[in-house]
Structure 1
């Protein structure tokens, strides 16, 4: 089974680049199958990691950054893959 962990944070005013670099530099205790990092308007940063594990497995996650670096609490979601489509 594939599990995707999503981590999303919004940077404090003017600190978007710093939050992005902070997230990119974080090492996890184990290596995921895949890891992608995204940025979005309003200085938001999203990191998605994919794992070959049961849905309820304990998996390493990115920590919370320093409170001064973000405008609100980090949002986290966990998803279980139910279907994979190959490009045509």
Structure 2
């Protein structure tokens, strides 16, 4: 089974590039099948990691960035793959 972990944060206005650099510098203790970093308006950064694991498996996740870098707590979601093209 493939599990996707999504991590999304919103930087303090004007600090989006700093949040993006922080995310890129984070090293997970294990390598996912795939890791993708995306950005969006309003200084948002999204990271999706794909894992070959059971849905309930304990998987490494990105930590919370420094509270002065983000406007709110990180949002996290977990999905399981049901179709693949």
Q: Which bracket does the TM-score occupy, shorter chain normalised?
A: over 0.9
**Does the alignment pair 1:56 with 2:63?**
no
Indicate the RMSD between aligned Cα atoms, in angstroms: 0.4
Consecutive unaligned residues in structure 2, runs of 5 or more: none
Task: Give the C-alpha shift of residue 13 in structure 1.
Answer: 1.4
**Normalized against structure 2, the TM-score is what?**
0.99
**Does the alignment pair 1:37 with 2:37?**
yes
Task: Give the C-alpha shift of residue 21 in structure 1.
Answer: 0.4
Output aligned runs, 1:1-88, within 5 Å: 1-85=1-85
**Normalized against structure 1, the TM-score is what?**
0.96
Aligned residues: 85
